[in-house]
Structure 1
Amino acid sequence: MVQLAKVLAIAAACLAAPVVAHPGEKHDPHVLKRELHVRDAMAAAGKRSLGGCESTLHARELAKRNVARRSHTVQKLRQKRGITSTPQKYRRNLAALEKWEAIDHNRTDAYQHGLINQESIFGANTSCILTPTVTDGPYYVWGEVVRENVKEEEYSDGIDVHLEVQYIDINTCRPVPGALVDIWQANATGVYSGISTSGNYAADGYNSTYLRGIQQTNEEGVVNFDSIFPGHYDGRATHTHLLTHLNATMFPNKTLEVGSGSVAHIGQLFWNEILRTAVEETYPYTTNEQAVTTNADDMWSVLQADASYDPFPEYMYLGDNLDDGLFAWIQIGINSTADYTDNSYYSIAAYYDANGGHENEDSGFVGGGGSGGGGAPSGSMSSMPSSSATASASS
């Protein structure tokens, strides 16, 4: 477990240093220190809350359904890709990792083609692990495309990842259906779509949409995304952004009502260093010339990782090499009564509607020089792409 003092020291150092790829992402270290204490207590309480209902009938039944669903997903993914080989047994060097990262999330070596040990692979109990809210960063776009497959024809090359995320309410220990979940990440060369500013110039600027999307959780609290393993960029460890809206209104034409619902969770998933290194030995990750930041040196992964929460997804190789892709999954405990809409960590850099992408001039993170507060910008925002919107970026 990382000592809180160490966390604060690293966080303060990171906050004091400029972050090239996230211009304007700054937070008061004194405020951050206070919030860390609060979040640490909330995470511990959430873990106890979820842990106390593990033996209930509905929790045991949910666990069984999770095992069956994940096993079925892997079989479908392998069949779709025509994979018949046994996945390779890939073991991480745990001694090389920080203690808080030393949980072995790699389930590849437990999978035997034709004889699936489903419980040992897919039954990992992550439901009592609370992922605390952290900043959404300066590149959040309101009005992303409602879709499961966030890959596009251009600028989405990389190692395929099928990601399953399940949301559990820490107050009831039950799945959270109907939540709208945003996902966004950098491409293999470390560039985000939908943003055009110093440190991140997408070729089509605000009109680009690759590796961004929204899905609604089903009755099991589950969303699925087809994406790629994210690329790295200066100042941040490799990560995937998630943001969860509750009670938001989605119109039949897939338009999200502006300002509806609450922001119940803002989080980031991080990826193991050994896996990242293996991925980045493949093309086009090898063309990424930006500096690498390890998990231990990242300001937000350090803040998230503790005994009470785990920001690293479980994963397994679908075949005998990375080119066959990965299946990754994680459960996230959220407080369904929380609302971070007016929190300083929630900032909308841009929005995407039927007319394309537009900068949010009220955002303090990107270009506008505003206050950097949360809340949706005015005007109608559609989740449907315009006909001219294509994926593009520069590296």
Structure 2
Amino acid sequence: MTANHQPQEAAEVRDVTRRKVVAVGAGAVAALGLGGSAYASNAGAGEKRRSPAQGAEECYVLTSETTEGPYYIDADKIRRDVTEDRPGIPFLLRIKVIDNETCRPVRNAAVDIWHCDAVGVYSGYEDMGNGGGGGGPAPTGTPTGVPTGPPPGGGGGHQEPTDDTRYLRGTWRTDRQGFVTFKTVFPGWYRGRTVHVHTKVHVGGEWTDAGYEGGNTCHTGQFFFDEESVLASAGVEPYASNTAERTTLDEDTIYDGSGTAGGLLKLQYRKDDIGKGVRGSITVGVDPEATNDGQGSPPPASASASVSAG
């Protein structure tokens, strides 16, 4: 299997036991300008349990599994800075991956993230997300059409990419403490879905000079944003020019309504100027032996839960 794949071939690389992604320049993770006062934060105690193996140490319950959605592209770019040229509020996302049973960090896991841009467009699928129906590239400033995005509810099955853009997508490895950090922009919205970030966690594979290969996908999930932060972002361009009907967090068909137990991110930003940047964090509890590729129906919300930031 070669280390490089053309865009039209990306959807064919679906077998996680043969998964390989191309290593391209790793972007430096820059600190956001969050100095000063007047912060907004939704920090709170997550749902935790005590692990017999760890005695008094607290351990998180399993993170909720969700559908993969129609716009996942495997064999993507190995990088921490996924922004490229997309305008929007700087967003620094810090994820910690732990073994649900042992509470120990999961090292050297491959973590994917992907999400739409400020006006609801997914890279690789611009014709399907910009409201133009094939009317050219997505807008970089004020949109000329109403973003429609994926089918409402995030379903519809996997779609073949329509172009070779890959902004706001990337894969990086967890460190010795189980942490991985991505630099991106605050996502926008499109009809039928609340603001969210998709993620996958791959374990048991091998990191090489060419990228990451093999292993299994132990988690497929989505991260969510509280309404206060989304409303604050809506006052900043280019979000303010997004005329698509917005689905609230409570109305979303994927978010299970359980707060941090359903993937709700811990966020920090300046109340008086969210445009300066947002920090988001969460701890993801996984079962490394499980296979959760997001292709089937996710388990009921009561069968799995997400976690708060750690």
After superposition, the Cα gap between the structure-2 partners of 1:249 and 1:301, relative to the gap in structure 1 and judged at 3 Å, is same
Letter of the 1:240 counterpart: V
1:261 aligns with 2:215: yes
- The answer for the alignment partner of 2:109 in structure 1 is 179
Counterpart AA for 2:177 = E
User: Deviations 1:180-231 (Å, cap 9, x if unpaired)?
Assistant: 0010000000000012554456828431011000010011111000011100
Provide the residue aligned with 1:250 in structure 2.
207
What are structure 1's unaligned runs of at least 5 residues? 1-73, 92-103, 108-124, 347-395
- The 5-angstrom pairing of residues 27-42 of structure 1 reads none
Distance 1:88 1:126 in 2: 31
Q: Is the 8 A contact 1:87 1:320 kept in 2?
A: no
Counterpart amino acid of residue 289 in structure 1? T
Structure in which a larger fraction of residues adopt helix: 1
Q: Quote the residue 2:43 is aligned against.
A: 105
Deviations 1:139-163 (A, max 9, x none): 000011111110012xx11111111
Query: How far apart, CA to CA, are the structure 2 residues paired with 1:235 and 1:335?
Result: 30
Contact map agreement 2:197 2:222 (CA 8 A) in 1: yes
Quote how far apart the aligned CAs of 1:310 are.
3.6
- Counterpart for residue 98 of structure 2: 168
Which gives a bigger RCO, structure 1 or 2 (Cα 8 Å, sep 6+)? 2
Corresponding residue of 1:97: none
TM-score between the two structures when normalised by the length of structure 1: 0.54
Are the structure 2 counterparts of residues 237 and 220 from structure 1 closer, same or farther at C-alpha, using a change threshold of 3 Å? same
Amino acid at match of 2:105: P
Q: Distance in 2 between matches of 1:169 and 1:296?
A: 29
Q: Is the counterpart of residue 203 in structure 1 residue 155 in structure 2?
A: no
Cα root mean square deviation, aligned: 2.9
Q: Give the fraction of aligned pairs with identical amino acids, expressed as a percent.
A: 31
Q: Which residue of 2 aligns with 1:25?
A: none
* Residue of structure 1 equivalent to 2:180: 223
- Partner of 1:261: helix, strand, or coil? strand
Rg larger in structure? 1
Structure-2 change in CA distance of 1:269 and 1:127 (3 Å): farther
Aligned residues: 232
TM superposition score normalised by structure 2: 0.68
Instruction: Name stretches of at least 5 consecutive residues in structure 2 with no aligned partner.
Output: 1-28, 46-56, 139-161, 299-310
Tell me how far apart the structure 2 counterparts of residues 290 and 253 of structure 1 sit (CA, whole Å). Answer: 40
Residue matched to 1:135: 67
Matched AA of 2:137: A
Deviations 1:12-43 (A, max 9, x none): xxxxxxxxxxxxxxxxxxxxxxxxxxxxxxxx
Q: Cα distance 1:336–1:189, how it changes in 2: closer, same or farther (>3 A)?
A: same
Aligned-partner Cα distance in 2 for 1:286–1:217: 35
Q: Does 2:59 correspond to 1:77? A: no
1:106 positional shift: 8.1
SS in 2 for 1:207: coil
Partner Cα separation in structure 1 for residue 191 and residue 297 of structure 2: 20
Q: Partners in 1 of 2:89 and 2:259 — Cα distance?
A: 30
CA separation of 1:269/1:126 partners in 2, compared to 1, >3 Å: closer, same or farther?
Answer: farther
1:157-188, Cα deviation, whole Å (9 max, x unpaired)? 11111110001111211110011001000000
Does the 8 A contact of 1:87 with 1:321 survive in 2? no
Given that 2:40 and 2:270 are in contact with CA atoms closer than 8 Å, whether structure 1 keeps it comes out as no
Matching of residue 240 in structure 1 with residue 197 in structure 2: yes
What amino acid sits opposite 2:167 in the alignment? Y
Match of 1:88 in 2: 38
Aligned equivalents of 2:229, 2:291: Cα separation in 1: 34
Q: CA 1:127/1:150 → structure 2, altered by over 3 Å: closer, same or farther?
A: farther
Question: Partner letter of residue 43 of structure 2?
Answer: H
- What is aligned with 2:245? 291
1:152 paired residue number = 84
Residue 194, structure 1, aligned to residue 124, structure 2: yes
The whole-number CA distance in structure 1 between the counterparts of 2:84 and 2:128 is 24
